[in-house]
Amino acid sequence: MKNIKKLLVANRGEIAIRALRAASELGIKTIAIFTLEDKYSLHRYKADEAYQIGEDDNPLKPYLDIEEILRTAKEAGADAIHPGYGFLSENVQFAKRCEEEGIIFVGPNYKVMQQLGDKITSKKVAVECGVPVIEDNKQALTNVDIALTEAKLIGFPVIFKASAGGGGRGMRVIRKEEDLEKAFIEARREAGNAFGDDTIFIEKFIENPKHIEVQLLGDREGNLVHLYERDCSVQRRFQKDVEVAPAPSLAQETKDILYEYAL
């Protein structure tokens, strides 16, 4: 794998600043992108070069424009793109297009993302690996009628989730049948705006769960380790407010089981 000499960060705000700073500390030249609405945002001033994308005043849509981001990267001489999180970070097509253009995608190979970047598919992979998952409808919801049928089969309360992303976007809890249609429309619209993909599915909603994550680190040589767990249960609107490591109220036996499932 060739060394990265010039990196474009395809994101905005805090995550862009963090990626730009890390690259600079490694001696890598940096490129920021920004929309018209973000022209005074701090992240553009933290890079060696910065370029506006999009010509209208839509503050977010240009960050989902794969071809414009790639064009900007090539014109600026970038040999790598860091997607940050959200936006195109879990977009299989973006990772694939980077490879086709000879640009390093700082993240998983697109073939891995095809299995794990899409929540519907990744849950199927988890089941095949013997990992227990929350009950869901196992496929994309294409209309309200199908969503209602699946919700009744699973049993209320249920939750809509965006298949292509996270960060609390495209998620709606439905506790009774009459609230489903509005939630379906809102969840699809929000998922489409945030990730460029309005695919949603439905899961059984668990009241007051523990949200425990196991961090994994792997390389292109097949080496894989876990970096233990963190408790992300303190949330607001499905976005994590506090992360505590190690998880303070989880038995070591349970932690060991989670590590095994993760690897």
CB 243 within 8 A of CB 232: yes
| Cis peptide bond N-terminal to 83, omega within 30 | no
Tokens of 8: 């474009």
Active-site residues, by number, are 240
DSSP per-residue codes, 45-110: HTSSEEEE--SSS-SSGGGG-HHHHHHHHHHHT-SEEE--SSTTTT-HHHHHHHHHTT-EESSS-H
Classify 58 in phi/psi space as left (phi over 0), alpha (psi -120 to 50) or beta. Answer: beta
Is the Cβ–Cβ distance between 203 and 174 less than 8 Å?
A: no
Report cis status (omega within 30 of 0) of the bond before 157. yes
CA dihedral sign, ordered 12, 63, 125, 236: positive
